[in-house]
Structure 1
Amino acid sequence: MIKIRPVAAPSLLRFIKLEQVCTRPCHHAVAPNEYTDVPKYPPIVDMSRRAKKKRLKTAWHDKITKLPTVEQKLMELNLPKYYGYWSGHLIDVCPKLLGLNFIQYATRTHVVNGLPEEYYSDVKNEAERLTTAVTDKVEHLIHLNYNCPLSRRSFGPGRASERHSTQNFLLGLHRLMASTVDSTVQHIKESVVDMQPRVEAFWILGGLPPDEMLRKTRKNYEPSKELENDLIDRTMQGVSTPRLGVRVTDGLPEVVSRDDPLATSAFVPDNKLDPRAFGFWPGEKKEHSQLWLHSREFITKFVEEYVTELTYPLVQQSAITDGQRWNFSVYQLNTCTLHSDLATNNPHNNILWLGEEQVLFENGVKGLNAEVLTALISMYLKKGIERDNPTPHLGSYKHLADHPASEEYREMFQSHLHDLFSGRGRHFMKPEMYLWEKIYKKDFNTRFFEARRRFFENHYKQKDPGQRRLDEYSPIYIPKAKRKDRRVKYKPMLDSEELYKYH
């Protein structure tokens, strides 16, 4: 045994016995066998630039599909763009000249003239019976809203007065219809009514030719020369504001089968022009549309997640009206994935049944059209069907409220999502190149003495603002008075899978 005499001064070197430290023998697991009976080769993948981009896109789509809640899917869709996507807008109040063919192509919709009569055959007799009982009340409602001014707003400008009368009439008509059919059907009694909701649709449309600027950029960049004329994807945003919406628990039954020739091989116009030439929250139990009443023309009813294909068709009823003239329609959504080449090479297409324009009444409540009331009551009476697994791409918990993360993380995530979908701009606007900068810095470098800090100037932190992600930000500092743990100085970062996590 080695003995060392202690000294008063601190020693620079001490000796200890190695046996006292390593008392356990070293060991490791048995090495696995390197040889197998059947050879295993790595998969052979295409390493071209086009194939790599396709694999990245497919992996992102699979990630979105596997996320368990609606809110997480919505957040993941918005993560790639901090300042939002540059989208082509289709707005119902701004119809484009000769834009019908493009809208049909952008939504892959086949239009059928006339409503499907056999679809309402089971409720037609009941609708005709209720029509005779409600006719007098409808005449009184028309006289009240169009012949008797109720407020000073009715004496305003012609267009504003008409909108005000139409809104009041549609609300009163819905109350009358709901109270009439409420004793017959249960789903209307339990329905939820939305007044002027903001209905928005977002999807990626593929199969569009590149613009001239993108074509030149690809041509002048060596790795992308072969992609010069490749078709591109454009993000599309559809906006509509119906006067009134009725939501129920169960979705409507399909009009035709998803394998019907009308849903697989119907004619859809091929209009590949660049689009630049032309609402309720997740968690609601009443998530299916029963009926939409519009006071003006609408662009589209194409609303779904664009990376996950439907497993069964969705059906929606609509009525376009100004109170006097009515157009009824039924829309069946069979496909919603239109990115890449699926805009043209898609085994399914959507169908719109559009009825002819009908007049409910003439001036002064003359000649009340009972057929319009029968068609409207039939839409109220049509009952949805309950499906075994209506949300196969969601987890056992459909919404964020049941997520296993902590309550604090769920509240922060929900608040962040509400801010995104509120329609307000970012606190800091997206950086842009001003005209004087393009002249004096980009085209003619006359200010070379200034420090290079802008995003279009070459410096070590240069980055395109369009490539900034939503989860790329500095961690938020937590004041000392609000810290639950003194060692934790910053909040966790946003994450679509775990809601929030520390990097």
Structure 2
Amino acid sequence: MLTSRGRILLKPNGLPKLGCMESTSTPEPSPVYPEIRDISFRGRARLRAEAFANLVREKSSYEEKMMEINMPRIYGWTTYIIRPTKIVYNSEKFYKKITRTGMIQTENIPLHSHLDAINDLEKIKVRVIDTLEAELDYLKSVPLAERLPTEKDENLRTSKYIASVLSRALMLSAAEHDVDQVDIEEEPRCDTFWLVGGFHPPPIVKKCRTKYSPEWLRKEIDENEPVAFRFQYLGEPLIQLQSKHPLANSVGRDSAIAQEIEVPYCPYHPSSFELMKCRYYGTNVNATWPHASDKTFTTLSWLPFSCAYGKSGKNDIKEFSDNLAVVHGFGSMLAQACKLGFSPVNKITYPMTTQVIVGDGQYLSFYQYQLNTNVLDPLLLEENDPKNICWSTPMHRLYECVENGRIKGLDENVLLMLVNAFRVKSVQAHQELSPYFGDVKYISDLPDDEKRKSILSDFKEMYSNRPQHRRKRPEIYDWERIYKIYFETRPQDARRKWWAKDERISHQRYDIIRPRYVPRDMRDPPKRSRRGKGVVKVIDE
């Protein structure tokens, strides 16, 4: 019963009398709790990286995915440029680290071990000898006035001629290939853009972390915490074979080799290896534009000894060859993955394999590169992600010398390895090769003419990386940097410029709306300042 104050009086057994209430209660739904997120500085940075990766993956076409990577920076990313001709001595650990690659030394690469024997090797030998003798005789007869000024340039031109004629001769000899299944691209464009972490911070970063960072950020980040840098590989192989189908993989991504192979530790700054830093729009192109050819997969690349001429010993040249093979193998496979719908921030779902030959026609090294991991961003990379693998053979000599226009001492074992590199057949894949493409894979397939032309124009303008007057980054003069930024000696000056107002103009988006430039004498209507100053040319729309 209830008292006058509304309290419940208990019975002797201690329970209230509920009366004749019916039990019609329904089970309550299970509560839905929000996702637990890491709100620390590193956790928020990881969430932003994942959101950006999802944004790129949701884009439908290849062009839109590649343009979205450059959208956060209107003037381009701060990038270190890697060129095959600028690889320096003692940089083997560095290039293996930035590509997450482990190298395996072997006498013969795995792709060649499953090939059948060649019955007509003698015919191929005669054809190769005749081709080499004719080409070397032609190069010897070049007039002195037309020869290049340095021995390095002359050897590079010789390598180009020999690689071109040998590739055609060996392709004709390898009867396993169908002519319409493989294309030979001469000096194609091979560009790759990616992000790598784990480097020592430069002094300017340490200064910003200790002097200009807020107190809460100093507690979360140590001044010596590693930083990440962006790299852009600009390659141009002598020849490159493109096929409709990929090569077979030698090992699985989850195999013990891919998990346990050792990747060197090299945290040194990229400038220590003579890499130049500049503002650059990240480009990912492999041989051809995606809509220009249906042969997407790279099966073989031939690179010259362009950076190894003038070195003293055979070991030095072999080290340069390894560096070239590693960086080009990773670059060509990552660019190929981007053409298939992946990107430097979206992980591939299957491994990709290619072959690399480094040599000048007489000395040759053979490599097989398998890409297992393409995302090297420290915020997206996991510890159990597989490593990339590169199989390397010793340096071989195809022939001894040339005497009186004749090839002496042709090694049949090396010739067999060279022929097998062109005999390797691609296989038709059974899994989905482009899982991240939408309804429109390439903008060239878009039915809307106006939208297609607009996107293609913007895409090619971005990937040309030409100097643009409309997107030129504002300059900070030396006297301003000294007297106003490094040493605040002019506090009375008005803060009108972007750096004085703490504006990060480099973080503006690329697609910011800006009117297209029109010359002054072609504007309609003309400016007020030009009226009455002569005849003004006005163009009617």
The CA deviation at 1:295 is 1.3
Q: Which residue of 2 aligns with 1:244?
A: 239
Is the alpha carbon distance of 1:151 and 1:455 closer, same or farther for their aligned partners in structure 2, counting shifts above 3 Å? same
Question: For the residues of structure 1 that align with 2:210 and 2:485, how far apart are their CA atoms?
Answer: 22
Question: For the residues of structure 2 that align with 1:210 and 1:104, how far apart are their CA atoms?
Answer: 20
SS at match of 1:147: helix
Given that residues 334 and 349 in structure 1 are in contact (C-alpha distance below 8 angstroms), is that contact kept between their aligned partners in structure 2?
Answer: yes
1:218 has 2:260 as partner: no
Q: Which residue of 2 aligns with 1:501?
A: none
Question: For the residues of structure 1 that align with 2:484 and 2:413, how far apart are their CA atoms?
Answer: 68
The CA deviation at 1:372 is 2.1
Given that residues 166 and 323 in structure 1 are in contact (C-alpha distance below 8 angstroms), is that contact kept between their aligned partners in structure 2?
Answer: yes
1:282 has 2:275 as partner: no
Given that residues 206 and 342 in structure 1 are in contact (C-alpha distance below 8 angstroms), is that contact kept between their aligned partners in structure 2?
Answer: no
Given that residues 109 and 366 in structure 2 are in contact (C-alpha distance below 8 angstroms), is that contact kept between their aligned partners in structure 1?
Answer: no
1:399 alignment partner AA: Y
Among residues 171, 177, 182, which one is paired with 1:178 in the alignment? Answer: 171
Among residues 110, 127, 139, which one is paired with 2:129 in the alignment? Answer: 139
Is the alpha carbon distance of 1:202 and 1:385 closer, same or farther for their aligned partners in structure 2, counting shifts above 3 Å? same
1:400 has 2:440 as partner: no
Given that residues 45 and 379 in structure 2 are in contact (C-alpha distance below 8 angstroms), is that contact kept between their aligned partners in structure 1?
Answer: no
1:268 has 2:259 as partner: no
Question: For the residues of structure 2 that align with 1:155 and 1:251, how far apart are their CA atoms?
Answer: 40
Question: For the residues of structure 2 that align with 1:231 and 1:197, how far apart are their CA atoms?
Answer: 35
Q: Which residue of 2 aligns with 1:70?
A: 62
SS at match of 2:54: helix
Given that residues 207 and 341 in structure 1 are in contact (C-alpha distance below 8 angstroms), is that contact kept between their aligned partners in structure 2?
Answer: no
2:184 alignment partner AA: V
TM-score (normalised: structure 1):
0.80
The CA deviation at 1:119 is 2.8
2:367 alignment partner AA: S
1:379 alignment partner AA: A
1:302 alignment partner AA: F
Higher alpha-carbon deviation: 433-442 or 370-379: 433-442
SS at match of 1:340: coil
Q: Which residue of 1 aligns with 2:392?
A: 354
Q: Which residue of 2 aligns with 1:381?
A: 423
Is the alpha carbon distance of 1:106 and 1:371 closer, same or farther for their aligned partners in structure 2, counting shifts above 3 Å? same
1:173 alignment partner AA: L
1:370 has 2:365 as partner: no
Residues 260-302 of structure 1 show CA distances to partners (whole Å, capped at 9, x for unaligned) of 2111111111212222322322233111111111112425121
Q: Output the aligned Cα RMSD.
A: 2.6
Among residues 81, 84, 95, which one is paired with 2:87 in the alignment? Answer: 95
Paired residues, number: 437
Residues 131-185 of structure 1 show CA distances to partners (whole Å, capped at 9, x for unaligned) of 321212211222222234343376443333322222112111111112222x432
SS at match of 2:48: helix
2:460 alignment partner AA: H
Is the alpha carbon distance of 1:130 and 1:263 closer, same or farther for their aligned partners in structure 2, counting shifts above 3 Å? farther
Residues 295-314 of structure 1 show CA distances to partners (whole Å, capped at 9, x for unaligned) of 12425121323211111110
Question: For the residues of structure 2 that align with 1:340 and 1:137, how far apart are their CA atoms?
Answer: 51
Higher alpha-carbon deviation: 76-85 or 298-307: 298-307
The CA deviation at 1:73 is 0.9
Is the alpha carbon distance of 1:151 and 1:36 closer, same or farther for their aligned partners in structure 2, counting shifts above 3 Å? farther
Question: For the residues of structure 2 that align with 1:327 and 1:40, how far apart are their CA atoms?
Answer: 60
Residues 366-423 of structure 1 show CA distances to partners (whole Å, capped at 9, x for unaligned) of 011122221122121111122231111222432122346x221111111111121123
Question: For the residues of structure 2 that align with 1:209 and 1:341, how far apart are their CA atoms?
Answer: 17
2:392 alignment partner AA: L
Is the alpha carbon distance of 1:342 and 1:274 closer, same or farther for their aligned partners in structure 2, counting shifts above 3 Å? farther
SS at match of 2:111: helix
SS at match of 1:204: strand
Question: For the residues of structure 1 that align with 2:63 and 2:147, how far apart are their CA atoms?
Answer: 45
The CA deviation at 1:350 is 0.6
Given that residues 109 and 393 in structure 2 are in contact (C-alpha distance below 8 angstroms), is that contact kept between their aligned partners in structure 1?
Answer: no
Q: Which residue of 2 aligns with 1:85?
A: 77
Q: Which residue of 2 aligns with 1:295?
A: 304
Is the alpha carbon distance of 1:448 and 1:266 closer, same or farther for their aligned partners in structure 2, counting shifts above 3 Å? closer
The CA deviation at 1:83 is 1.2
Question: For the residues of structure 2 that align with 1:267 and 1:403, how far apart are their CA atoms?
Answer: 45
Q: Which residue of 1 aligns with 2:481?
A: 438
Is the alpha carbon distance of 1:143 and 1:76 closer, same or farther for their aligned partners in structure 2, counting shifts above 3 Å? same
1:327 alignment partner AA: S
Among residues 359, 369, 380, which one is paired with 1:321 in the alignment? Answer: 359
Is the alpha carbon distance of 1:135 and 1:399 closer, same or farther for their aligned partners in structure 2, counting shifts above 3 Å? same
Given that residues 154 and 161 in structure 1 are in contact (C-alpha distance below 8 angstroms), is that contact kept between their aligned partners in structure 2?
Answer: no
Is the alpha carbon distance of 1:99 and 1:118 closer, same or farther for their aligned partners in structure 2, counting shifts above 3 Å? closer
Question: For the residues of structure 2 that align with 1:113 and 1:342, how far apart are their CA atoms?
Answer: 30
Given that residues 106 and 343 in structure 1 are in contact (C-alpha distance below 8 angstroms), is that contact kept between their aligned partners in structure 2?
Answer: no
Q: Which residue of 1 aligns with 2:31?
A: 39
Given that residues 199 and 241 in structure 1 are in contact (C-alpha distance below 8 angstroms), is that contact kept between their aligned partners in structure 2?
Answer: yes
The CA deviation at 1:217 is 1.6
Question: For the residues of structure 1 that align with 2:463 and 2:344, how far apart are their CA atoms?
Answer: 17
Structure 2: 5+ residue runs without aligned partners?
1-26, 274-285, 306-320, 335-342, 520-541
TM-score (normalised: structure 2):
0.75
Is the alpha carbon distance of 1:113 and 1:154 closer, same or farther for their aligned partners in structure 2, counting shifts above 3 Å? farther
Structure 1: 5+ residue runs without aligned partners?
1-34, 480-503
SS at match of 1:421: helix
